[in-house]
């Protein structure tokens, strides 16, 4: 079944720059999707399976007419999936030979799809603000983890791992402040698009706060005096054991393009620290509440777990 456990949601999929003309094949929650751009440059998304004999359309090519041509028998499909030409069969009834389209949007510098093939989306994507703010410069780092997306998502919402996994990078100051009797308190607030958490260590607030945007986005707001700096993790399910992560930073300082590489390098290092730990999670997928033990600092991840179990896991 298409998009099992991740159905009827908007998800960011790729940075816009990844699809110049196309076609680009990408797997999302077990379903194959092909992205390309029509003649007007607008992004199109189809299920990456030719309706004729099931081969991947992404192995084909996009012609001057903006149609994607299947590599097998050359059938051509428009951005909305309609069949536009069937070679050697001038009498073919095109209206019953179409490919399956997916709702697609280009917002900010990202391509988004709605995970319900052949339908209109009932809503629009709601990206974290810093991903669309014209005053910020953004970088996008893509990486693949060998884990179920729910483990990667929880890792992004988990604060108490900072002084351990990241003790030599972003968790260094917390690791230094921590004593054997330290206490972390997590504050948590429901938002229209998900939730917002803050945290205090031994009664001292940290002005950083962290947002969960349903279904699969994290935005961390890092306090720097007089500056704006935001980190995002966009956690895209590929299949049961693979997750594609887009780490996006947004800043209003050091905005020259050649400096992007520095931000990407830091993001790669921090993500790599998480990856080695998270990829060992067993069971692969986050289990129902009660099957792992939890404590007070797991408040935010438990909330995600509840959302996943109740709203996404059974979706198809
Ligand atoms: S399989 Fe695509 S045209 Fe035949
Ligand atoms: Fe981490």
Last residue of a domain, one of 101, 125, 149: 125
Q: Over the stretch 115-136, which tens digit does the pLDDT of each residue have?
A: 999 889 999 999 999 999 999 9
Do residues 205 and 293 share a domain? yes
Structure-token pair, residue 83: 């069949």
Cα–Cα–Cα angle for 202, 203, 209, rounded to 5 degrees: 100
The Cβ of residue 217 has, within 10 Å, a number of other Cβ atoms equal to 26
Which position has the higher pLDDT, 99 or 288? 99
Q: Over the stretch 239-264, which tens digit does the pLDDT of each residue have?
A: 999 999 999 999 999 999 999 999 99
The Cβ of residue 214 has, within 10 Å, a number of other Cβ atoms equal to 18
Q: What is the pTM of this model?
A: 0.95
Last residue of a domain, one of 86, 106, 125: 125
* Contact in structure between 125 and 12 (CB atoms under 8 Å): yes
Q: Over the stretch 73-107, which tens digit does the pLDDT of each residue have?
A: 999 999 999 999 999 999 999 999 999 999 999 99
Query: In this structure, is residue 3 part of a structural domain?
Result: no
Q: How confident is the model at residue 1 (pLDDT cuts 50, 70, 90)?
A: low
Q: Which atom of ligand 1 is nearest to the CA of 71?
A: 2
Do residues 180 and 273 share a domain? yes
Q: How far apart are CA 117 and CA 119, in angstroms?
A: 6
Measure 111 CA to ligand 1 centroid, in angstroms. Answer: 26
pLDDT above 80 (res 206): no
Query: In this structure, is residue 2 part of a structural domain?
Result: no
Residue of 61, 63, 72 to mutate, ligand 1, most atoms within 8 A of C-beta: 72
Beta partners for residue 113, in sequence order: 11, 104
Do residues 156 and 200 share a domain? yes
Last residue of a domain, one of 68, 102, 125: 125
Structure-token pair, residue 250: 């947004």
Do residues 148 and 273 share a domain? yes
* Contact in structure between 161 and 151 (CB atoms under 8 Å): no
Q: What is the CATH classification number for the domain harbouring 114?
A: 2.102.10.10
Q: Over the stretch 148-170, which tens digit does the pLDDT of each residue have?
A: 999 999 999 999 999 999 999 99
Do residues 20 and 139 share a domain? no
Measure 8 CA to ligand 2 centroid, in angstroms. Answer: 28
Cα–Cα–Cα angle for 181, 160, 129, rounded to 5 degrees: 140
In the chain, % of residues over pLDDT 90: 91
Neighbours of ion ligand 2 (CB under 5 A): 274
Do residues 76 and 183 share a domain? no
The residue among 112, 128, 80 whose CA lies nearest residue 16 is 112
Counting ligands in written order, the one closest to the CA of 154 is 2
Query: In this structure, is residue 116 part of a structural domain?
Result: yes
Residue range 159-186: average pLDDT? Answer: 94
Q: Name the closest-CA residue to atom 4, ligand 1.
A: 73
Which position has the higher pLDDT, 205 or 229? 229
Q: What is the CATH classification number for the domain harbouring 158?
A: 3.90.380.10
Q: How far apart are CA 28 and CA 93, in angstroms?
A: 31
In the chain, % of residues over pLDDT 70: 100
Q: How far apart are CA 216 and CA 304, in angstroms?
A: 10
Do residues 305 and 179 share a domain? yes
The predicted structure's pLDDT at residue 106: 97
Beta partners for residue 101, in sequence order: 46
The predicted structure's pLDDT at residue 22: 79
**Edge-to-edge strand list for the sheet holding 10-15:** 10-15, 110-114, 104-107
Q: Over the stretch 31-83, which tens digit does the pLDDT of each residue have?
A: 999 999 999 999 999 999 999 999 999 999 999 999 999 999 999 999 999 99
Do residues 80 and 142 share a domain? no
Do residues 75 and 134 share a domain? no
Measure 165 CA to ligand 2 centroid, in angstroms. Answer: 7
Query: In this structure, is residue 191 part of a structural domain?
Result: yes
User: What domain range includes position 214?
Assistant: 130-312
The residue among 127, 116, 123, 108 whose CA lies nearest residue 217 is 127
Q: Name the closest-CA residue to atom 3, ligand 1.
A: 73
Domain total for the chain?
2
Q: To the nearest whole number, what is the mean pLDDT of the chain?
A: 95
Query: In this structure, is residue 82 part of a structural domain?
Result: yes
The predicted structure's pLDDT at residue 237: 98
Q: Which atom of ligand 1 is nearest to the CA of 86?
A: 3
Q: How far apart are CA 62 and CA 40, in angstroms?
A: 13
Ligand 1 surroundings by CB, under 6 angstroms? 50, 52-53, 55, 70, 72-73, 75
């Amino acid at each position: 079944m298409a998009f099992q456990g991740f159905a009827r949601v908007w998800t960011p999929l790729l940075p816009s720059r990844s699809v110049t003309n196309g076609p680009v094949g990408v797997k999302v929650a077990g379903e194959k999707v092909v992205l390309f751009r029509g003649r007007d440059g607008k992004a199109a998304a189809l299920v990456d399976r030719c309706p004729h004999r099931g081969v991947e359309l992404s192995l084909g090519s996009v012609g001057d007419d903006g149609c994607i041509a299947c590599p097998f028998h050359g059938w051509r499909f428009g951005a909305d999936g309609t069949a536009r030409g069937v070679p050697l069969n001038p009498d073919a009834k095109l209206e019953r030979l179409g490919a399956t389209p997916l709702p697609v949007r280009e917002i900010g510098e990202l391509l988004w799809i709605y995970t319900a093939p052949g339908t209109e989306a009932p809503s629009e994507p709601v990206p974290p603000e810093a991903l669309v703010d014209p005053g910020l410069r953004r970088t996008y780092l893509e990486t693949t983890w060998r884990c179920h997306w729910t483990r990667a998502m929880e890792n992004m919402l988990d604060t108490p791992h900072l002084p351990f996994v990241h003790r030599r990078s972003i968790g260094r100051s917390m690791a230094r402040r921590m004593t054997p009797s330290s206490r972390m308190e997590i504050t948590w607030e429901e938002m229209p698009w998900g939730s917002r958490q803050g945290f205090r260590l031994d009664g001292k607030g940290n002005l950083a706060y962290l947002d969960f945007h349903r279904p699969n986005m994290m935005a961390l707001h890092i306090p720097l005096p007089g500056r704006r700096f935001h980190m995002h993790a966009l956690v895209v399910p590929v299949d049961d054991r693979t997750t594609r992560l887009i780490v996006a930073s947004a800043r209003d300082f050091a905005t020259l393009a050649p400096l992007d590489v520095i931000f990407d390098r830091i993001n790669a290092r921090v993500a790599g620290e998480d990856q080695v730990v998270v990829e060992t999670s067993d069971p692969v997928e986050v289990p129902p509440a009660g099957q792992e033990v939890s404590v007070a600092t797991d408040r935010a991840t438990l909330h995600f777990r509840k959302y996943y179990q109740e709203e996404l896991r059974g979706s198809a």
